[in-house]
Amino acid sequence: MNSLQKRYAALKQEGVSPQEEERINQELAAAAHGGEARHHEHLFAPNRLPGIYDQQDLLSLQDQNEPMVPSFASLHSLDYLLERDALREKDGFPRKIRLGKIVKPSRDGSDKIVIVPTTVEEKFLHDRVRTPGQEDGEGEGGEQGEGGAGDGEEGEVIGEQPVREEQGSGSGPGQGEGASHEVDSNAYDLGRILTEQFKLPNLKDKGKKRSLTKYVYDLTDKNRGFGQFLDKKSTLRRIVQSNVALGRIQVDRTIDPAELLISPRDRVYRILSREKDFESQAVIFFVRDYSGSMGGLPTELVVNQHILLYSWLTYQYENQIETRFILHDTEAREVDNFYTYYNLRVAGGTQVAAAYAMVNEIVEQEELARDYNIYIFHGTDGDDWDTRGEKTLPELEKMLKYASRVGITIAENTLIATGKSEVERYLRRSGLLEEKKDLLRLDVLGQESNEARLIEGIRELIS
Amino acid sequence: MELISQHAKRIMEGCKERAREAGLSFQDESLEYIVTNRDLVELSPKVMIPTLYDYWVQDVEILKEKGRYELYPSNPYETVINTRPPISYYNDNNPDWLNVMIFYHVLGHMDFFQNNLFFRDTWNYDFTSKALSDKRLIAKLRSEKGHWVDYVIEFSLAIDNLVGYFNTLGELERNSRSQKQSLLDYYFDVFLQERSSFTVVSYVKEIERYNQHVRDDRARGGRLFLEEVKVRYPELETLHQKSQEQEGGPQRLDLLQFLMEQSEFLRRNENRWMLTVMEVIRSTSLYFQPQIRTKILNEGWASYWHETLFLSDDRISGHEVDFARVNAKVTSLPRVGLNPYALGMRLFYYLEEMADRGKLSFDYLRLTDREERRRFDSNLARGKQFIFSVRENYADSMFISQFIDQDFVDLHKLFVSGKRLNKERMTWQYYVKSRKAEHYKNMVLSSLYHPPSITISTTEDNTLRLDHLFEGKPLVTDFIGPTMMGIEYLWGGPVELFTSEVVIKKGEAKKKSDEAAEQVEWERILYTMNKKRLNRKSMNEVLTIW
């Protein structure tokens, strides 16, 4: 907290406008109130109590489990469905298949994020009254509340449910691993849908620094008769075969190696050949602002877009990608899986430069620039205490020297007027967007962005 | 899917005998199948009806958006379906005692399906056969018309929750007791009294004249009188006929019917086949309507009987503890949440006891003394009779609103719970919000299935106008566009929808939700769908422009 205050004081000396000051104060207040890093509520499926119509005989009475449908096994064939959906567009109707992301809670607490092609039946349905500022899940079951039975005075709290435990604090390690794996296994398919269905561009068409697959030369192929390197074991085997065929080796007689005939064709050599190298070909840095101001919708938008991006790249690189997740407020921190990346929230200030510096540091230290295509996607609400980008822009320029693409997503929050966020302003002023047009992209998401808009944004970021 | 073993079937038949003795009534035949997990995967998108028509969207996992929107009910995992004969589904490894319990539960449902008046529309035919012929029909159309069949299915499904279930039911009711008013009754009861020259004296005179006729000639007097009247008032017969027609009332059409009758697009020769598809969707939806409106009653009734009958069944003694464990899981009241089994069953027990002791009487209601109320017992023993009449005549909404009272709420320690976010501790806190019967009742009522009510009209320029009746709830805005697009397609012209939405004021985002919920402001919104483009207009703006 003190470090935040200190930094604030320093900023103040440099001079900040009243609006900026107000916003910083807001974040400081949030930090004081909320404290340290924590997960925020479920974004996908707020765990809701089963209602009247959710309970059915087969499940309750016969103890059947809801049939587990492996996300793709139940489908006739994904291709068929996609074809079907593409046909809709041709007939002049919007597509129907969407990319559902559901959290499947499991018994040991490691909720899995599963991505399935899904659809909703759109009807005129009653919605509950939503008021702005209402937390997701609050006032569930309408103004009327839920049912209940048992003891307790009116007003008495009868139970608590943690919104989200910080990983590691309770359930121990391994929780996140499963989750991120679950995303992986579905990401490839999702990427395929994205590419085919939403006509996202294929990477290969674009000029980029390195080829997708690289070749190394290795002594792996075998050749009989001549070559660079004699394969003794195979050669001996061939010699024995030939001599058995010639009748020179018989079951009951002892073998005299000097007696064996050796044909030139029996010599097996290894020769130099071109090999595909299946090393990871791309590294993606997902960078996300997790400061207080990001709470709610901006986080959801950014993270959802990052899931889609991740999936698309997974497909493009045929699983040959590595991902790194970096979260930042005033300081940056690397987390080891998507799950944590997705769920963590902190109430602190915002300094974009810290995160960019960290990316640069990782790239430099691990010499990633030499062997990999490097993608950096940054999601933020556009808030930055470094209001003129004095620290951020140099880091960004450094980044642009090695990166294949830097995509910045600004999900606007309620506090900022459209198109007025600091990050957007200093980026535009710097001229980098025009200068390095093929390397740096910016996508600004409004409050009402839906999935189609997110995918549109991806096209913007990667095309 | 295969039939259950002969052994299990024998047990089922034994259950039927005992259930009949207890007073349940259902048809003799029933079909029981073993289902595997794989069968369930196939059956659940078809709402457990094995012969339901195919539709490609069934292959996509349909996210019912359970978490986000209330009241999107569906019954994908029902054990028994309302067909003739009823079909029920079982795990293949159920022990006998568990099967006995489930059989009784199933028999409870069968009895309910075949006796509750809200199911009357489903009594006269077997839905599996109808569904099968519908399935073949759609398959045939699909081979002729290609994938356009699926668009019609989709767009009809989008409005199939608006089917006029109660209209259909009312129609049925009217037809079943169609005692037509005779010409004579009409003459005296309506015609004479509506005439301007009507006076009591002349009316009595006319009656006297009729009586005189009958007295003079017992056999033909009445007819003679009528002939005379007809001569005097030649318009009488036509008026009578007209009133007969009006008696049935102008049929109120639901949206699907309205489109089928009035849409010029559908009346075109090349589009006539769409009507058949729409009718299939409509009748299928109608079939499911009573089920969704009697969930608490139906499950309560079945639970009441599986408990009662199981405990008195001599064949499975020794398994009481096993039964208790399963039964408790199904029918216990959750600490927080609603359980239709538990609530319905307890209400039936409660009503039975009330009726047994004669507490459903004015004498009881008049009592104010707590002790007297407690001791009140007129030994009426009408309990069984009363719950059977409830099973026959009630739907969930009536059941809940009529019978949940403070005594019941106190008896089972029911309460309305609230949920709030505690920001300090980062937890959801559940708390007891109210123990008043009125609140509990309203809470249950508000969570019952209730599709939006929409009235239909057309404007001069052939725009279809839909008016969503305001009931304190908005429509799901994301779905309005796609749904209207479907309607536009079927209507073949522009569509308007009037609905109400909450006014969102910018800058008040941080307001506390409790206050906000109370100070909701509503405004009327007009949506127009023309050439697949959705337009949203606030009526307030329209008004200020005027």
Task: Provide the 10 A C-beta neighbour count for residue B512.
Answer: 10
Residue type (1 letter), B424: E
What is the pLDDT at residue A345?
67
**CB-based contacts of A452-461 (< 8 A; 24+ apart in sequence):** A454/A301, A454/A304, A454/A305, A454/A308, A455/A194, A455/A198, A455/A200, A455/A308, A457/A305, A457/A409, A458/A194, A458/A200, A458/A305, A458/A308, A458/A309, A458/A312, A459/A198, A459/A200, A459/A201, A461/A309, A461/A377, A461/A405, A461/A407, A461/A409
Interface A–B counts its CB contacts (< 8 A) at: 349
- Determine the distance in angstroms separating the CA of A65 from the nearest CA of chain B, rounded to an integer: 9
What is the pLDDT at residue B422?
77
Top pLDDT among B274 and A104 is at B274
What is the pLDDT at residue B420?
81
Structure ipTM? 0.80
Which of A48, A58, A134 is the mutation pick for testing B, counting most B CBs within 10 A? Answer: A58
Which residue in A has a C-alpha nearest to residue B67's C-alpha?
Answer: A45
Q: Do B41 and A67 touch (CB under 8 A)?
A: yes
Helix or strand run (H / E) with residue B212: helix B200-216
What is the pLDDT at residue A24?
64
Q: Do A124 and B454 touch (CB under 8 A)?
A: yes
The SS3 call for residue A216 is strand
- Determine the distance in angstroms separating the CA of B59 from the nearest CA of chain A, rounded to an integer: 5
Is the pLDDT at A279 greater than 60? The verdict is no
* Sign for the pseudo-dihedral over CA of A115, A121, A124, A128: negative
Residue written as token pair 């009656």: B207
Task: Provide the 10 A C-beta neighbour count for residue A71.
Answer: 21
Q: In this structure, are residues A330 and A349 in contact, taking their beta carbons and an 8 Å threshold? A: yes
Q: For the whole prediction, is pTM greater than 0.90? A: no
Minimum-distance CB partner of B517 among A51, A100, A139 = A139
Distance CA A460, CA A458 (A): 5
From chain A, pick out residues whose CB is under 8 angstroms from the CB of B41: 67, 69, 74
Minimum-distance CB partner of B161 among A76, A81, A123 = A123
The mean-pLDDT minimum among A66-70, A323-327, B166-170, B521-525 falls in A66-70
Distance CA A11, CA A344 (A): 27
Phi, psi of B377 (to 5 degrees): -160, 110
Q: Do A141 and B157 touch (CB under 8 A)?
A: no
Task: Provide the 10 A C-beta neighbour count for residue B531.
Answer: 8
Which of B416, B431, B521 is the mutation pick for testing A, counting most A CBs within 10 A? Answer: B431
Distance CA B217, CA B223 (A): 10
Closest CA to A136 of A234, A255, A40: A40
Minimum-distance CB partner of A153 among B40, B75, B432 = B432
Phi, psi of B428 (to 5 degrees): -85, 130
- Determine the distance in angstroms separating the CA of A323 from the nearest CA of chain B, rounded to an integer: 29
Q: Do A97 and B80 touch (CB under 8 A)?
A: no
Q: In this structure, are residues B473 and B490 in contact, taking their beta carbons and an 8 Å threshold? A: no
Top pLDDT among A13 and B338 is at B338
Q: In this structure, are residues B404 and B380 in contact, taking their beta carbons and an 8 Å threshold? A: no
Q: Do A56 and B341 touch (CB under 8 A)?
A: no
| Cβ-Cβ contacts under 8 Å for B515 (sequence gap 6 or more) | none
Closest CA to A441 of A420, A423, A462, A421: A462
What is the pLDDT at residue A107?
47
- Determine the distance in angstroms separating the CA of B133 from the nearest CA of chain A, rounded to an integer: 24
What is the pLDDT at residue A462?
72
Residues in chain A: 463
Distance CA A39, CA A332 (A): 17
Q: What is the pLDDT of residues A345-368, one digit of tens each?
A: 666 677 888 888 888 888 888 877
Minimum-distance CB partner of B502 among A45, A50, A129 = A129
Which residue in A has a C-alpha nearest to residue B99's C-alpha?
Answer: A62
What is the pLDDT at residue A437?
76
Q: Do A129 and B340 touch (CB under 8 A)?
A: no
Q: Do A33 and B423 touch (CB under 8 A)?
A: yes
Minimum-distance CB partner of B452 among A126, A148, A161 = A126
What is the pLDDT at residue B248?
55
Closest CA to B340 of B394, B296, B404: B296
From chain A, pick out residues whose CB is under 8 angstroms from the CB of B430: 148, 157-161
Q: What b/e readout covers B470-507, taking b as 16+ CB neighbours within 10 angstroms? A: eeebbbbebbbbbbbbbbbbbbbbbbbbbbbbbeeeee
What is the pLDDT at residue A322?
77
Closest CA to A140 of A161, A121, A124, A113: A161
Q: What is the pLDDT of residues A284-299, one digit of tens each?
A: 888 888 877 776 677 7
Domains of chain A are 215-276 (no CATH), 279-462 (3.40.50.410)
Tokens of residue A308, six digits = 């889609």
Distance CA B443, CA B448 (A): 9
Top pLDDT among A25 and B122 is at B122
Q: In this structure, are residues B440 and B383 in contact, taking their beta carbons and an 8 Å threshold? A: no
Q: In this structure, are residues B274 and B282 in contact, taking their beta carbons and an 8 Å threshold? A: no
* Sign for the pseudo-dihedral over CA of A40, A41, A43, A44: positive
Q: What is the pLDDT of residues A172-228, one digit of tens each?
A: 222 333 333 344 455 666 666 666 655 655 554 333 444 445 566 777 778 888 888
What is the pLDDT at residue B368?
87
Residue written as token pair 């769920």: A343
Top pLDDT among A37 and A298 is at A298
Q: Do B60 and A75 touch (CB under 8 A)?
A: yes
What is the pLDDT at residue A315?
73
Which of B54, B60, B520 is the mutation pick for testing A, counting most A CBs within 10 A? Answer: B60
Q: Do A132 and B431 touch (CB under 8 A)?
A: no
The mean-pLDDT minimum among A233-247, A254-268, B322-336 falls in A254-268
pLDDT tens-place values along chain B, 546 residues long: 899 999 999 999 999 999 999 999 999 999 999 988 778 777 877 888 888 888 877 766 654 443 334 334 455 567 899 999 999 999 888 889 999 999 999 999 999 999 999 999 899 899 999 999 999 999 999 999 988 999 999 999 999 989 989 888 887 777 766 566 678 888 888 888 887 777 888 888 888 989 988 888 888 888 888 888 888 888 888 888 877 766 555 567 899 999 999 999 999 999 999 999 999 999 999 998 999 899 999 999 999 999 999 999 988 888 889 899 999 988 999 888 889 999 999 999 999 999 999 988 888 888 888 888 888 888 888 899 999 999 999 999 999 999 999 999 999 999 998 888 777 777 778 889 899 999 999 999 988 888 899 999 998 888 999 999 998 888 888 889 999 999 999 999 999 999 998 886 644 444 444 444 456 788 899 999 998 899 998 887 655 544
Helix/strand/coil (H, E, C) string of B128-155? HHHHHHHHHHHHHHHHHHCCHHHHHHHH
Distance CA A188, CA A313 (A): 8
Strands of the A146-149 sheet, one edge to the other: A146-149, B414-422, B427-434, A157-162
- Determine the distance in angstroms separating the CA of A195 from the nearest CA of chain B, rounded to an integer: 19
What is the pLDDT at residue B408?
94
**DSSP assignment of B13-27, as one string?**
HHHHHHHHHHT----
Q: Do B162 and A124 touch (CB under 8 A)?
A: yes
Q: What is the pLDDT of residues A149-165, one digit of tens each?
A: 888 888 888 888 766 54
From chain A, pick out residues whose CB is under 8 angstroms from the CB of B75: 53, 56
- Determine the distance in angstroms separating the CA of A90 from the nearest CA of chain B, rounded to an integer: 12
What is the pLDDT at residue A275?
67
Residue type (1 letter), A181: H
Distance CA B453, CA B396 (A): 18
Q: Do B448 and A52 touch (CB under 8 A)?
A: yes
Which residue in B has a C-alpha nearest to residue A149's C-alpha?
Answer: B414
Could you give the angle at which helices B273-292 and B295-311 cross, rounded to 10 degrees? Answer: 50
Top pLDDT among B465 and A103 is at B465
What is the pLDDT at residue B315?
87
Minimum-distance CB partner of B447 among A52, A62, A74 = A52
Residue written as token pair 């808009």: A453
- Determine the distance in angstroms separating the CA of B334 from the nearest CA of chain A, rounded to an integer: 6
What DSSP state is assigned to residue A148?
E
Helix or strand run (H / E) with residue B522: strand B522-530
Distance CA B154, CA A119 (A): 12
Minimum-distance CB partner of A129 among B418, B443, B517 = B517
Q: In this structure, are residues A133 and A154 in contact, taking their beta carbons and an 8 Å threshold? A: no
Count helices and strands in chain B by DSSP H and E runs: 26, 12
Q: Do A149 and B414 touch (CB under 8 A)?
A: yes
Q: In this structure, are residues B532 and A89 in contact, taking their beta carbons and an 8 Å threshold? A: no
Task: Provide the 10 A C-beta neighbour count for residue B443.
Answer: 26
Minimum-distance CB partner of A157 among B429, B434, B485 = B429
Which residue in A has a C-alpha nearest to residue B396's C-alpha?
Answer: A52
What is the pLDDT at residue B73?
46
Residue written as token pair 């035919």: B125
- Determine the distance in angstroms separating the CA of A3 from the nearest CA of chain B, rounded to an integer: 22
Q: Do A48 and B326 touch (CB under 8 A)?
A: no
- Determine the distance in angstroms separating the CA of A143 from the nearest CA of chain B, rounded to an integer: 7
From chain B, pick out residues whose CB is under 8 angstroms from the CB of A156: 431-432
Residue written as token pair 């009868």: A158
Residues in chain B: 546
Average pLDDT, chain A: 70
Strands of the B522-530 sheet, one edge to the other: B454-458, B464-468, B495-502, B522-530, B533-538
Tokens of residue A358, six digits = 């960290």
What DSSP state is assigned to residue B250?
P
Q: Do A158 and B105 touch (CB under 8 A)?
A: no
For residue A310, the cross-strand partners are: none
**DSSP assignment of A238-298, as one string?**
HHHHHHHHHT-S-TTSPP-GGG----GGG-EEEEEEEEEE-S--EEEEEEEE-SGGGTTHH
Provide mean pLDDT across the span A410-434: 74
What is the pLDDT at residue B68?
38
